[in-house]
Amino acid sequence: METKPQRLLSLDFFRGLTVAAMILVNNPGSWSNIYAPLEHAEWHGCTPTDLVFPFFLFIVGVSIAYAMGSKRLDPSSHGQTILKALKRAATLFLLGFILAIFPRNFSDFSLFESLKTVRIPGVLQRISVVFLISSILFLKLSDKGIFRAIVILLMAYWALMTFVPVPGVGYANLEKETNLGAWLDRTILTEAHLWKSAKTWDPEGILSTIPAIGTCLFGILVGVYLKKKTVEPATKIAWLFSIGTLTVIAGLLWDLQFPINKSLWTSSYVLYTGGLATIILALSYWIIDVNHYNRFTKPFVVYGVNAITVFFLSGLTPRLLNMIKIDFNGEKVGALNYVNKAWFVPHFSPINASLAYAIAFVLFWYVILWVMYKKNIIIKV
């Protein structure tokens, strides 16, 4: 028997697993000591860490299919639904902007000066834009229309990146600083408002948002199929495994000409990660929702029901705590840096100390989220 289609436990599990992984890779004890699977690929290629963000956008798509499915059938409600989506997107963008502008040190913080150099793109900002556009397309297009939209978006992005000459460079290319997306970001946003680690390009830039929408639409189609009451669970699982596998293969084949690349969010990357996400969700659905093996899911469901909340707070809290300075061997360090140096570094090798700190950080938030879950506190953004 299936659970009620309005709430997939496997989806909450997958969402929670993804967010917990996101927090793990974003909060090592030391950025100089990280195991290779917990780092992003240097450029082309895909590590386990590179799967986290597209998995989340895929899950956003599945959630749209479940949350807005009934609204889609009622055109008279589309305006109100789009307005709600716009408000939610604006909230997400604002939260991302707050993380970007939040000072590392209040003593020398100037809002006016910070606005001159604040990074405009970001993870939450991309989620907000992708969510809004994908919601509108879901309401206004048929399932076949959404499939066509995915094809158009991925093919158009491939053509732009591989055939359109880059102004000032003279030829199309996929290098970090000279590709068309990097040029567009520098032209529209200027270097002052791009990723500080690069300054000349941004991994959440304007042009690469186009295929990112394709990732979310992929999730929408999977969600629509999972919701079908006329299809048996075994059939759903078989089809999703098949589609996921074929899509992964398609992504790997396209990689030969248009390399899998998270920072560029290439079309091959959309297919590869979308296929893997489909396989994982199908497996989770089979184990959790169909066979009801769900005892192991609680820690991840706890993360999943407050996903955006914990992502935002886990980014904000370290900045707040590290404003508290503590003496460590004659040096003033931030509170969390002190925890790492005093509690983890002396007891592990440098790379294991970094990992142990990251795991402890994830568990710290689990305790908070578990209390919220028990008290039925769910903060919807």
- Tens of pLDDT along the chain (381 residues)? 333 445 789 999 999 999 999 999 999 999 999 999 999 999 999 999 999 999 999 999 999 999 999 999 999 999 999 999 999 999 999 999 999 988 765 556 677 777 888 999 999 999 999 999 999 999 999 999 999 999 999 999 999 999 999 999 999 999 999 999 999 999 999 999 999 888 899 999 999 999 999 999 999 999 999 999 999 999 999 999 999 999 999 999 999 999 999 999 999 999 999 999 999 999 999 999 999 998 899 999 999 999 999 999 999 998 888 888 898 888 888 898 999 999 999 999 999 999 999 999 999 999 999 999 999 999 887
For residues 161 and 172, is the Cβ–Cβ distance under 8 A? yes
Instruction: Tell me the C-alpha distance between 83 and 241, whole Å.
Output: 35
- Enumerate the domain spans of the chain: 1-6+22-30+291-381, 40-284
Instruction: Tell me the C-alpha distance between 160 and 152, whole Å.
Output: 12
For the chain, helix (H) and strand (E) counts, in that order, are: 15, 2
Residue 13: what residue type? F
- The DSSP line for 232-250 is -HHHHHHHHHHHHHHHHHH
CA angle 117, 261, 216 (to 5 degrees): 85
For residue 11, give the nearest of 375, 294, 315 by alpha carbon.
294
Cα-to-chain-centroid distance, residue 61 = 12
Residues 6+ apart with CB under 8 A from 30: 340, 350, 353, 354
pTM score, two decimals?
Answer: 0.94
Cα-to-chain-centroid distance, residue 282 = 19
Instruction: Tell me the C-alpha distance between 304 and 14, whole Å.
Output: 7
